[in-house]
Amino acid sequence: MSETDALLTGAARHAASFDGGGLPPQPARRVAVVTCMDARVDPARILGLRDGDAHVLRNAGAVVTDDLLRSLAASQRLLGTAEVMLIHHTECGVLTYSDARWRGELEAETGVSPPWSAEVSTDIDANVRAGLEALRSSPFLVATDSVRGFVYDVRTGALREVAADGRR
């Protein structure tokens, strides 16, 4: 059995006991959480979120891309979120490669240069600050005063805030 088949078995168990939901599309806590796709980072567990509490957006490195801004604009303008938490984490796999090296390897293997970049450096706090700046300066977001950045430590489970101005 493949892992997908095993997960489908879990989905069938979930559906069998599903109570019909009834949750509105607007998140109850009016917050959007942006974080990495890393399997060690579980925003619901880390933040104590329940179904319907928040919008959770994930990508490699928790990078603020055009597509992420599109989703956040919908979250804020159409579904009422008023706060954004940007959460990076320690030991991120994206930080193990330089952007030039990764793009070069992809182009060498496929013959095509990717239209995107990793957009990260090995300085995790600098990555958070860059993301905060991108979020706060976006003309498409309406709630930019309540944008905060954090680093989650995958070894200790601790979450620490990163000040936009570089102070801890």
pLDDT tens readout for residues 116-159 = 877 778 899 999 999 999 999 999 999 899 999 999 999 999 99
| Full residue range of the structural domain in which residue 56 is found | 25-162
Domain assignment present for residue 2? The answer is no
Q: How high is the pLDDT of residue 100? A: 83
Q: What is the mean pLDDT of residues 19-31?
A: 91
pTM: 0.91
167 part of a folded domain: no
Domain count, the chain: 1
pLDDT value at residue 166: 57
The three-point CA angle 57-66-26 to 5° equals: 40
When pLDDT is cut at 50, 70 and 90, the band that residue 167 belongs to is low
- Is residue 20 situated within a structural domain? no
Digit-coded pLDDT (tens) for 41-87: 999 999 999 999 999 999 999 999 999 999 999 999 999 999 999 99
Q: What CATH number is attached to the domain comprising 70?
A: 3.40.1050.10
| Residue 41 within a domain | yes
Q: Cβ neighbours of residue 143 under 8 Å, at least 6 residues apart?
A: 76, 81, 82, 83, 84
Is residue 1 scored above 90 in pLDDT? Answer: no
Question: Can you tell me the distance from the alpha carbon of 68 to that of 131, in angstroms, rounded to the nearest whole number?
Answer: 11
Question: What sign for the dihedral angle of Cα 118, 119, 121, 126?
Answer: negative
Looking at the chain, the whole-number percentage of residues with pLDDT higher than 70 is 98
Answer whether residue 81 is part of any domain: yes
CA dist., res. 110 & res. 97, Å (int): 18
Tokens representing 126 are 């600098």
pLDDT for 21: 80
4 in a structural domain: no
The strand pair at 83-89 and 159-162 is best described as unpaired
Mean pLDDT of 160-166: 84
